[in-house]
């Protein structure tokens, strides 16, 4: 496809990869509006046809401030496009410090917004089935948006509910009944919200999977957990809430209504509890999405709300995701980064924003590329050098699941910027890997926040 997509909309860069395709960022040269475009080649992935159709049907019935907005779809030959709101604030996991979490005031805010979005989904008869921090995005006002409805399904239609029987989701976040089947939709999503809350407050996941052969989960189920992490990191009042959410039996699990009435959810935290003791996630320099996305048409008719058409499987599909920042995308050669916001109609892209997975180094691009490959190898990562400016690293997390991330190395007016972003896998595991890599580079890493005029970039990404 040409970089000039339609009516002045330009494909700036790939945002993420998924099991069946990619998500790309579209920019309007005239207005500066940004839209996320999910693309799937149906000839290469014929199995995606049904799931794409279901995803579009579900998106069409959703309108909520905490759900990613749907703009429409388009098909050209075998390529299917879905146009979605671009969440300029990145992914929630970028706000979570590994093994630390985030201040309770922030966690409470995001948890309340998550509950609001999930409550709305359930009111529309929709189960998400893959709630996790990587699928929770933030807009440029730092408000949470639920994304990625590739595994979502309708569990209620015309007042009639059905049990679900598809084993899907991401193992540390799925409820125990999902692994045994059949299961009720609403309690399963509520369980995932509880695991997300633990991750936000403790910076770690409570278990690899909720099965009795997992020691951490067995300890939780048998009330032998008080002096082990992550539970020892939680204050009694929030632990009492988590105990009501992560109940192995869905019939006894708190509903969203009861969760919202709990004392922790209504507690007022002072401003000091919102302060960070580590570098914050970024506020993004994206002007937001306008009301006129690219031309979209040909909507499918709703499906019958029967059994899941996809076969049950052991695998856990990788979900589409967006990066934690817009800035490195705007260094694409397909977009004129030297223009500034002082020109009429130009967006304010003049700053690189602060982000946790980026740092400056005191050596050249070539030298840091060489050292980075050595550090990757020491950290059990295989790697591929595409150019001196881009390296793809592949590893496994502690659950033996695939972890893929990219390192972008940029010459910024004589200073060298190393920018790592997650492509596939667990966000918390990626953040842990990032910290080890940065530490492994030693004294070549410069301290301090990363802020730099984007117009000074002398290298563009391929």
Catalytic residue list: 130
Specify burial of residue 229 (Cβ count, 10 A radius: 0-12, 13-18, 19+). middle
Angle between helices 185-202 and 236-245 (to 10 degrees): 150
Under 8 Å CB-to-CB from 23, ≥6 apart: which residues?
14, 15, 16, 17, 36, 37, 38, 39, 320, 321, 322
Neighbours of 388 (CB within 10 A): 16
Question: In terms of Cα–Cα distance, which of 282, 318, 231, 336 is closest to 94?
Answer: 282
Q: Phi then psi for 115, rounded to 5 degrees? A: -60, -40
Q: Give the DSSP letter of residue 456.
A: G
Host H or E run for residue 160: strand 160-161
Residue 244: alpha-carbon gap to chain centroid: 26
- Do the Cβ atoms of 377 and 436 come closer than 8 Å? no
Instruction: Give the max Cα distance, the chain.
Output: 64
Q: Give the Cα separation of 348 and 299 in Å (integer).
A: 34
Map tokens 């805010």 to a residue: 109
Under 8 Å CB-to-CB from 108, ≥6 apart: which residues?
264, 265, 267, 269
Specify burial of residue 254 (Cβ count, 10 A radius: 0-12, 13-18, 19+). buried
Host H or E run for residue 35: strand 34-41
SS3 211: coil
């Amino acid at each position: 496809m040409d970089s000039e997509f339609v009516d002045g909309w330009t494909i700036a860069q790939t945002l993420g990869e998924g099991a069946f395709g990619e998500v790309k960022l579209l920019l309007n040269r005239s207005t500066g509006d940004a839209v996320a475009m999910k693309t799937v080649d149906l000839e290469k992935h014929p199995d995606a046809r049904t799931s794409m159709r279901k995803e579009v049907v579900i998106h069409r019935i959703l309108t909520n401030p905490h759900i990613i907005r749907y703009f429409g779809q388009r098909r050209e030959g075998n390529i299917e496009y879905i146009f979605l709101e671009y969440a300029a604030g990145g992914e929630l996991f970028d706000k979570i410090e590994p093994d630390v979490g985030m201040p309770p005031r922030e966690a409470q805010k995001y948890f309340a917004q998550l509950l609001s979005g999930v409550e709305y989904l359930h009111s529309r008869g929709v189960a998400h089935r893959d709630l996790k921090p990587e699928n929770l995005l933030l807009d440029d006002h730092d408000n949470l948006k639920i994304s990625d409805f590739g595994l979502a399904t309708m569990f209620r239609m015309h007042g009639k509910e059905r049990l679900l029987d598809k084993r899907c989701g991401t193992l540390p976040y799925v409820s125990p009944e999902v692994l045994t089947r059949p299961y009720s939709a609403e309690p399963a999503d509520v369980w995932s919200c509880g695991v997300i809350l633990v991750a936000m407050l403790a910076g770690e996941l409570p278990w690899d999977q909720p099965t009795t052969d997992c020691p951490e989960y067995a300890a939780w189920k048998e009330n032998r957990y008080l002096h082990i992490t992550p539970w020892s990191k939680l204050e009694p009042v929030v632990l009492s809430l988590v105990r009501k959410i992560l109940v192995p039996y869905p019939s006894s699990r708190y509903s969203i209504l009861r969760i919202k009435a709990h004392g922790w959810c209504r507690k007022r935290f002072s401003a000091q509890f919102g302060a960070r003791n580590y570098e914050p996630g970024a506020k993004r320099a994206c002007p937001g999405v306008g009301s006129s996305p690219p031309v979209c048409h040909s909507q499918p008719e709703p499906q019958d709300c029967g059994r899941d058409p996809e076969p049950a499987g052991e695998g856990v599909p990788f979900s589409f995701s967006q990066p934690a920042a817009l800035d490195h995308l705007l260094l694409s050669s397909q977009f004129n980064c030297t223009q500034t916001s002082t020109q009429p109609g130009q967006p304010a892209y003049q700053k690189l924003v602060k982000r946790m997975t980026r740092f400056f180094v005191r050596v050249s691009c070539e030298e840091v590329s060489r050292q980075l490959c050595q550090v990757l190898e020491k950290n059990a990562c295989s790697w591929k050098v595409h150019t001196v400016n881009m390296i793809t690293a592949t590893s496994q997390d502690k659950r033996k699941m695939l972890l893929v991330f990219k390192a972008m190395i940029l010459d910024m007016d004589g200073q060298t910027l190393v920018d790592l972003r997650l492509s596939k896998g667990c966000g918390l595991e990626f953040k842990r890997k990032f910290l080890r890599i940065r530490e492994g580079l030693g004294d070549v890493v410069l301290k301090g926040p990363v802020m730099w005029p984007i117009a000074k970039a002398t290298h563009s990404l391929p």
